[in-house]
Amino acid sequence: MIRMSTSRELEELRTRKTELEEESSSLREEQKNLVERVEVLEEKIAVEELKNNNITTREAIAQLESKMSDLEQKLKETSQVFENSEPAKEMMLGIPEVHEPPEEETTEITEEVPEEPQEDAVTVRALEDTVSQQEYSEDPKKQSEKKRRRIF
């Protein structure tokens, strides 16, 4: 009887082992499928994020292009207004704008004097520059004497 119970126990153990092996195999297969599904979902998320990023970037590009177009149009309009105005034409030609009152008939005799070209440039120099240039042009002994005089 002991033998029977041992053989029965052995058979039950083998059956249990087979069941557990099948379950283990099934669990491994399920785990493999879940890992693949997770990878698929991760890739889908990455694709969606890239798609959304591309949409946002396209919108930003469209806004920049629109702004650029508006600014170019505004520049074109201001350039046309500037070119069409009389002061602008005179400035472009280098002719200073002079508004003269309407000429009245006078009996005065006017003498024509040739106009001298006017200089538009003004030179401004600082006082220190002149002093420092004079100092550098003199010999070093005189420079040191002048420095001593200034200090004391």
Domain range enclosing 72: 9-93
pLDDT of residue 130: 47
Asked if residue 119 belongs to a domain, the reply is no
Q: Which residues of 15-42 are buried (b: 16+ CB within 10 A; e: fewer)?
A: eeeeeeeeeeeeeeeeeeeeeeeeeeee
- CA–CA–CA angle 106, 110, 114 (5° rounding): 145
Asked if residue 115 belongs to a domain, the reply is no
Asked if residue 46 belongs to a domain, the reply is yes
Asked if residue 17 belongs to a domain, the reply is yes
- pLDDT at 60 exceeding the cut of 90: yes
Mean pLDDT, to the nearest integer, of 66-78? 94
Tell me the pTM: 0.43
Asked if residue 110 belongs to a domain, the reply is no
- pLDDT at 5 exceeding the cut of 80: yes
